[in-house]
Structures are given as C-alpha cells and as structure tokens.
Amino acid sequence: MAPQATTVTVTGAGGQIGYGLLFRIAAGDMLGPDRPVRLRLLEIPQGLKAAEGAALELQDGAFSLLEHVEVTDDPRVAFDGCSIALLVGARPRSAGMERADLLQANAGIFGPQGAALSEVAADDIRALVVGNPANTNALIAAASAPGIPADRFSALTRLDHNRAVGQLVAELDARPDDIDGVAIWGNHSSTQFPDVSHAVFGPVKTGPDVTMVFDALAAKLGSSEAALAWLDDVFVPRVAQRGAEIIRVRGSSSAASAANAAIEHVRDEQGGVAWTSAAVVSHGEYGVPEGLVCSFPVRSDGDGYRVIEGLDLDDRARARLAASVDELVAERDAVRALGVI
Ligand code: NAD
Ligand code: LMR
C-alpha cells in the first residue's frame, strides 16, 4: 500500500526561496522517493499570483510524488493538517526601518502563524523558520503556539554550515564529504561563530588518514599561527558575512542555496544525521539561556534535532558564542518589550 501523503506548507511560496523549494520538494529531495506530498502554498494577497504561477508549473512538472497543490492567503487553510511547515515569508528590512520596527513587523507575521499552526496543524508538526530574523521569528512562533512543544520549531543555520564547509573545501582543495564536524554557534547573523575546532578532515573520515581540520590548515598554510590567522581574519568573517556578500554581488539575497539548505535541514531532521548545525530551542546547553533559539552542533535520530553536548570550547570560542547569544538576548528582550511574547 502506498504511504499516505505528507502535507507540507511553504509560506512566502511566491518568493525567490519558495521558487527554489517547491520543485525539489515535489521531486522527493526533502522527504525521499517513497513519500508522496501534498503542498500548501501560503502567500499574502500581493504574492498570490506568483504562487499561483508556481502551482501551474508544478502541474507541468508531472511529479509522481505530488498529490495536490493548494494556494491560499489564509494561514488556517495553509496549515490545516500540515506535518512540515517551512516558514519562509517574512517582512524584509526597508530603508530607514529600525531593528525594533523589523522585529515588530515580523512578530505580526510569526505570532499569528504560530497560533494558526497550534490550532490546525497535524500532531506531528515540525516548523522550520527561514524568514529573517530567523532565530527570533522562530522564538515568536513557538511562543505563540501553546499546543505545540517548543522544540518542534527550529531556524535555519544549515546554510551557514554549508557555507563554512564550502570555504574549507576551497582552502584545503578538498571535497565536501571529506569534512565533518563543522559547527555554527549562535544567531543567523554576522555575530554567528563558525567553528572548526572539532572538525575532521580526511578522504576516509574514520580511517588512519583522518586529521583535524585545524592541522590540515596548519600544514597547508605553513604554521599553526597562520592557520589561526586565516580562521580569524578570513574564514569567520567570510562565512558570517556571506549573506551580505551574496546580496552585494547578486543584487538580492541567497535563494537557491537557502532553499537547498532548508531541504537538507528537514531531510536530516526526519532521516537522521550524526552531525550538522541548526538553530534549536536551548535547554541551557553550553550556558545559552533556556528558551532562546540558538544555533548549535546537532544530531538527529530521525525524531528532531538534539544538541551535541560535551564539546570543549576554548576561551576564544566561548567569547564568540557569548557575543552572538548577547544579540539573541537583545532581540528576545526587544520582542518582550513590544509585548509580543
Ligand atoms: P522574497 O521577497 O523573494 O519572498 C518572500 C515572500 O514572502 C514574498 O513573496 C512575500 O509576498 C511573502 N510574504 C511576506 N509576508 C508573508 C506572510 N505574512 N505570509 C506569507 N507570505 C508572506 O524573499 P526570499 O528571498 O524568498 O527570502 C525570504 C526570507 O528568507 C527573507 O526574510 C530572507 O531574509 C530570508 N533568508 C533566510 C536565510 C537563512 O539562512 N535563514 C537565507 C536566505 C534568506
Ligand atoms: C543569507 O544568509 O543569505 C540571508 O539571511 C541574508 C538576508 O539578509 O536575507
């Protein structure tokens, strides 16, 4: 008997990332080749035409896993019975907008969406927030969804994780599969800490040739000091500011790479993974205040991400994590001051 279709809702489905997501979900890249999907596309009225166009193209794709597509501007319709929600649509920062205005505008989106999810989503709902400021939007959605355990909400830092791997691949002249154990700590913002201190490098990661990424960098660059300087002066800022670099070069924010990262986040959350990065609700791990949605190294047994605990963080790492956590605390406090959570 064919498995029942999984209902997947994409918000902001008429936008750039939505366009990058929908066809890959329909092709089975997110849930695998054996799970049919029912897609719900949520947009605001101005975005409905773009979403409707995407729905026509989905039909033209004749995807064998795609059972049904519905376009709506009503969150309660969009989230009805949904098991996976990709919360992409958000209010971008416009000229002259203060941070508090941005947080308030997004609270007006993620608060009601969290509430609607709580009322009508399936019992197994998991929601990934992509729309920025992603960590705090996830916090708002979780706080607005009393019927859903908070740890069913997460925010996307897999893109940052993949960016970090991409930079190491280029520097070490390696392949992505040769690198494991990279971690993104903190906020999906320029304060994040991309960390290689637990990362390993080697053609066969568990074999005799495996080495720490740091040692491979030191060998390539001539000394440990040169490796540390490259990490501090090139790698960390490059990864942390890659979103801005893409906007500068491309003229708009990352779309296909963001969609790819969102697909991988959900695929690994549902399918299992030994090590990746995701922003999840803190239970106090590594001293991060409880309830903040913070990026950590995580693993999944197929039933949601768990923080990988017990890693040693040196003073440099602790200071960088603390700086990003301070930013998350400030965002949470600003949202609290607005009476949103
Ligand atoms: P976009 O402007 O192309 O599309 C956003 C879409 O969301 C628009 O079609 C808009 O009409 C819709 N929308 C706005 N409010 C909505 C609401 N209340 N309900 C439903 N839909 C709504 O933007 P994009 O390039 O697709 O990016 C979307 C978001 O993702 C942005 O906030 C962007 O900053 C963020 N982003 C996050 C990451 C990450 O790694 N976390 C990476 C890239 C982009
Ligand atoms: C990214 O990391 O590419 C985006 O979050 C940048 C942005 O501000 O949309």
Q: Assign domain 158-333 to its CATH architecture.
A: Alpha-Beta Complex (3.90)
User: How confident is residue 308, by pLDDT bands cut at 50, 70 and 90?
Assistant: very high
Are β-strands 179-180 and 293-300 bridged in parallel, bridged antiparallel, or unpaired?
Answer: unpaired
Rounded Cα distance between 181 and 196, Å, is 7
The string of DSSP codes covering 136-149 is HHHHHHHHT-TTS-
Instruction: With CA atoms as reference, report the closest residue to 23 among 53, 54, 47.
Output: 54
- Using 50, 70 and 90 to split pLDDT, how confident is the model at 98? confident
254 in ligand 1 pocket by Cβ < 6 Å? yes
Q: What is the pTM of this model?
A: 0.98
Q: What is the mean pLDDT of residues 64-87?
A: 98
Burial 114-123 (b: 16+ CB within 10 A, else e): bbbbbebbbe
Kindly report the protein residue whose alpha carbon is nearest to atom 2 of ligand 2.
243
- Residue 315's pLDDT band (boundaries 50, 70, 90)? very high
Q: Does residue 68 carry a catalytic annotation? A: no
* Mean pLDDT of the 13-28 span: 98
* Residue 173: partners with Cβ closer than 8 Å, 6 or more residues away: none
Please give the share of the chain, as a percent, with pLDDT higher than 70: 98
Q: Where do runs of H (alpha helix) occur along 131-190?
A: 134-143, 158-172
Q: Give distance in angstroms: CA of 212 to centre of ligand 1.
A: 37
Across 272-308, b (16+ Cβ under 10 Å) vs e yields: ebebbbbbbbbeebbebeebbbbbbbbebeeebbbbb
pLDDT band at 94 (very low <50, low <70, confident <90, very high): confident
State whether ipTM is beyond 0.95: yes
| 59-73 tens-digit pLDDT | 999 999 999 999 999
- Give the confidence band of 99 by pLDDT, cuts at 50, 70, 90: confident
Ligand at shortest distance from the CA of 108: 1
Average pLDDT, the chain: 96
Tokens 């599969």 belong to residue:
177
Query: Which tokens go with 135?
Result: 């960590």
Question: How confident is the model over 177-223, as pLDDT tens digits?
Answer: 999 999 999 999 999 999 999 999 987 666 677 899 999 999 999 99
CB 113 within 8 A of CB 138: no
Give the CATH number of domain 6-155.
3.40.50.720
Average pLDDT over residues 152-177: 97
**Residue bearing the CA closest to ligand 1, atom 12:** 12
Please provide the DSSP assignment of 72-91 as one string.
Answer: ES-HHHHTTT-SEEEE----
- Across the chain, which distance is largest between two alpha carbons, in Å? 60
When pLDDT is averaged across residues 83-108 and rounded to a whole number, the result is 90
Residue type, 259: A
Q: Give me the catalytic one of 161, 188, 198, 265.
A: 188
| Tokens linked to 255 | 């779309």
Q: What residues have CB less than 8 Å from 312, skipping those under 6 apart?
A: 197
pLDDT band at residue 226 under the 50/70/90 scheme: very high
**How many beta carbons lie within 10 A of that of residue 61, not counting itself?**
12
Q: Which two tokens stand for residue 107?
A: 């609270």
Residue stretches of the annotated binding site for NAD(+): 12-18, 106, 113, 130-132
> Ligand 2 pocket by C-beta < 6 Å: which residues?
132, 159, 243, 246, 253-254, 258
Q: 186: which 2 tokens? A: 């903190």
Q: Nearest ligand to the C-alpha of residue 102?
A: 1
The residue ranges of every structural domain in the chain are 6-155, 158-333
Residue 44 Cβ contacting ligand 1 at under 6 Å: yes
Continuous segment of H or E residues that includes residue 10: strand 6-11
- Distance (Å) from CA 199 to ligand 1 centroid: 32
CB 71 within 8 A of CB 55: yes
pLDDT at 206: 63
Q: Whose CA is nearest to atom 6 of ligand 2?
A: 243
Determine if ligand 1 sits within 6 Å of the CB of residue 54. no
**DSSP 8-class letter at 205:** T
Q: How far apart are CA 191 and CA 182, in angstroms?
A: 17
Residue of minimum CA distance from atom 1 in ligand 2:
243
241 lines ligand 1 (CB under 6 A): no
Q: Is the peptide bond before 133 cis (omega within 30 degrees of 0)?
A: yes
